[in-house]
Amino acid sequence: MNRLFLTLLALIVTFPAFAQTRQNLYDKFCDVVSRRDIAATAALMAEWEKLYPDDAELFSVRANYHFTNAITTITVLCDSVPADNRECYALVDSLGEVKEYMYYETRINRAKIDSTTAILTQGIAKYPDRLDFRLGKVTVHLQANENALAVQEVEAALRRSIVNKNKWYNTLDEPIETDGISYLRGCIQDYFSKLIDSNDLAAAERMVETCLRYYPREAVFITNKGTLRYFAGDLHAALALYLAARDIAPTDILIANNIANVYVDMGDKENALKYYHIVADSNDEYYAEKAMQAIKELNAK
């Protein structure tokens, strides 16, 4: 009897060593997602739900499962140049005659996109301070060319940042190390760049105005607004915003470089040289080198 009791006790003590930890499951999850293995992701999801049915991480697993292959790029061959004049490649034969045209096309599965965002919405509702859920939703919208919805999600995150004082959590509920808005600001900058690259200046404008509504003295957001004014050709407004940003962040070399560039476009050589010298004397090798080249070119005129 004592021997049986000891055997059962040993099983009870050693069983946890064989159980999958959340970290183990997450490591597997990263592997199957990187391989875009839908079957393996489904199996892992079932295992995770059985072991940790109330785990916040399941929202991330489910979202990734539905997002896999939601956006694909295919190669299209056709006999003529695409009607929308998109970039394409001419395929020629040995005689140099064009035989076909080739281009790439992005296909978006809206049902999968909707399923993904619905799961992330549920996760945000239950765990409002899990920033990865919010950023994941922004990323999905941007990749699906739903820029207006992406901006809405950025605003929701900014609104929550005021409530939680930027105390965010990430994967496996790990606290995010951040100095105030710094972490979220860095993510928003990436989104701002994506909107600029896609030439959706209207969405970029809405994002900037939203950011300034919640953080009116963030130099980066003020600079972004200045950049949009610069793109619009309003040099005086751009300069005023850049100078305002520099008052807040006087050591930011990028802002000083932007100011110098505007002065060049305004034909103000003296002030352009003043700010290029500030950049040239900085520790930023990339911008310092470009500033020194700009100084040489201005002095040669």
DSSP track, the chain: -HHHHHHHHHHHHHHHHHSPPHHHHHHHHHHHHHTT-HHHHHHHHHHHHHH-TT-THHHHHHHHHHHTTSEEEEEEEESS--TT----EEEE-TTS-EEEEEEEEEEE-HHHHHHHHHHHHHHHHH-TTBHHHHHHHHHHHHHTT-HHHHHHHHHHHHHHHHHHTT--B-GGGPBPP-STTHHHHHHHHHHHHHHHHTT-HHHHHHHHHHHHHH-TT-HHHHHHHHHHHHHTT-HHHHHHHHHHHHHH-TT-HHHHHHHHHHHHHHT-HHHHHHHHHHHHTSS-HHHHHHHHHHHHHHHT-
12: pLDDT strictly greater than 60 = no
Percent of the chain with pLDDT over 90: 77
Q: What is the pLDDT at residue 15? A: 40
7: pLDDT strictly greater than 50 = no
HSE at residue 1, side-chain half, CA atoms within 13 A, is 0
Min mean pLDDT across 14-18, 89-93, 272-276 is at 14-18
Mean pLDDT of 221-229: 98
Looking at the DSSP bridge assignments, the partners of residue 103 are: 76
Q: What is the pLDDT at residue 181? A: 95
pTM of the model: 0.85
Write the pLDDT tens digit of every residue in 229-258: 999 999 999 999 999 999 999 999 999 999
Say how far residue 30 (Cα) sits from the centre of its chain: 18
187: pLDDT strictly greater than 90 = yes
CA distance 38 to 239: 51
Write the pLDDT tens digit of every residue in 31-80: 998 898 889 999 999 999 999 999 999 999 999 999 988 888 888 888 88
